[in-house]
Amino acid sequence: MYAGNMTKASRSGAQSGLLSWPMQFMGYQLRTAEMMIGKRLTMGERTRLLGMNLAMYGIPAGVGIFGFPFGDSIREAAVKYGNYVEGQYPLVDFLMEGVPHMMIAGVTGERVNFGQRYGYGGVGAIHDALAGDKEWWKWMGGASGSFLINGISNLHPFWMWAVNSLTDQQGTYPLRIEDFTAPMRNISSVNVALREYEALNTGRWLSRNNTYVGDVGLKESLILSATGLQPQAQVQANTLYNLSNQQSEKQKEYSKNAQKQMHRFFDAIKIYDDVNANDYMKRAYSELIRGGVPEEDWQSVFHQATEEYGKTLIERLDWNWYMKHVPPSDFKARLEAYQHKLQGQK
């Protein structure tokens, strides 16, 4: 039971048909989830299985035994509402990371993502579907699709070199040694070897996509390479990245709402309706406060509302396409097209 009943009798129906691709390599998670949710185990057995996983991997990874990917949400809530920082309170660290993580940190002094690496974490396909940050064809492709897509994307330097070689920019995009090793990073053993080589020579620990994660010593790099673990700081960085994106999206949404209220404020001012104008201004400030928009950004929000006021949707879209963030190679052509369009509207 404690091994998750990995037998043919526990094979999940979700691993057949159209779902077989996105559910690749998810058999362990699916079977344990069906055991926890279904009727095969008694309440006592489910409680012991859950308790063991919580102790081993911590709450975020341990609750993934139910199949639902709550881990990221739990970590984000701990940081957002509890200002959780690892190492501040040992009891909280135990609840978040589990016993093995605490033991490794105590013996070696290194904090690694033991729970996230070896815990259940939930069904990855469900996480991708709920997050909504993957195109549907990537989600349906599963692990094999991701491997293929990553391999193709790593060929970008060769495409740039080939295109430039056929134009007057020949020689402006020379190939480097890392262009040849990047496609092979999709192979786990090659990626580990290349990452360890980089760590030993530069003291820098890189992620699979060659992002500089942090500095590592000899002992830490050998532990990470031998176990397949990552620095716990990387997990925390991912959590902060997600929270920052969520905060940014919320601020953008409420800033747009505030601009709409400002436009109504301008309409009311035009007809000398001071009562409604005052209410609309209050609503604009309320939107900014509720959205958590920093006060230093309020002026830019109001400035943009003033600039856009009185312009039709078509006028704003025209300006955004022809005049804003235009690639240098297209600027002259778009400027001429925009001038021609404006002349044709007179």
Considering the domain architecture, whether residues 260 and 229 belong to the same structural domain is answered as no
Show the tokens assigned to 322: 């022809």
As for how many domains the chain has, the answer is: 3
Considering the domain architecture, whether residues 18 and 119 belong to the same structural domain is answered as yes
Residue 171 domain-assigned (yes or no): yes
What pLDDT shows up at residue 9? 53
Considering the domain architecture, whether residues 23 and 103 belong to the same structural domain is answered as yes
Query: Among 236, 265, 283, which residue terminates a domain?
Result: 236
What pLDDT shows up at residue 130? 54
Residue 264 domain-assigned (yes or no): yes
Considering the domain architecture, whether residues 33 and 101 belong to the same structural domain is answered as yes
For residues 265 and 277, is the Cβ–Cβ distance under 8 A? yes
Q: Look up residue 66 and give its DSSP letter.
A: G
Quote the crossing angle between the two packed helices 99-108 and 43-62, to the nearest 10°: 40
Considering the domain architecture, whether residues 307 and 196 belong to the same structural domain is answered as no
Considering the domain architecture, whether residues 120 and 145 belong to the same structural domain is answered as no
Residue 339 domain-assigned (yes or no): yes
Considering the domain architecture, whether residues 147 and 83 belong to the same structural domain is answered as no
Considering the domain architecture, whether residues 118 and 224 belong to the same structural domain is answered as no
pTM for the full predicted model: 0.70
What pLDDT shows up at residue 133? 60
Of the chain, the end-to-end C-alpha distance in Å amounts to 78
Query: Among 94, 128, 162, which residue terminates a domain?
Result: 128
What pLDDT shows up at residue 140? 58
Q: Considering only CA atoms, which of 86, 104, 92, 121 is closest in space to residue 233?
A: 86
Considering the domain architecture, whether residues 113 and 12 belong to the same structural domain is answered as yes
Angle at 248 between CA 233 and CA 97, to 5 degrees: 25
Considering the domain architecture, whether residues 12 and 109 belong to the same structural domain is answered as yes
Q: Which domain holds residue 268?
A: 252-344
pLDDT averages per 10-residue partition of the chain, 346 residues: 52 56 63 79 88 91 82 89 88 91 86 86 59 58 66 85 83 85 81 88 83 85 86 86 92 96 92 91 95 93 89 84 87 87 72
C-alpha distance from residue 135 to each of 17, 123, 146, 209, 307 (Å): 20, 17, 11, 19, 35
HSE of 255, CA atoms in CB hemisphere, 13 A = 20
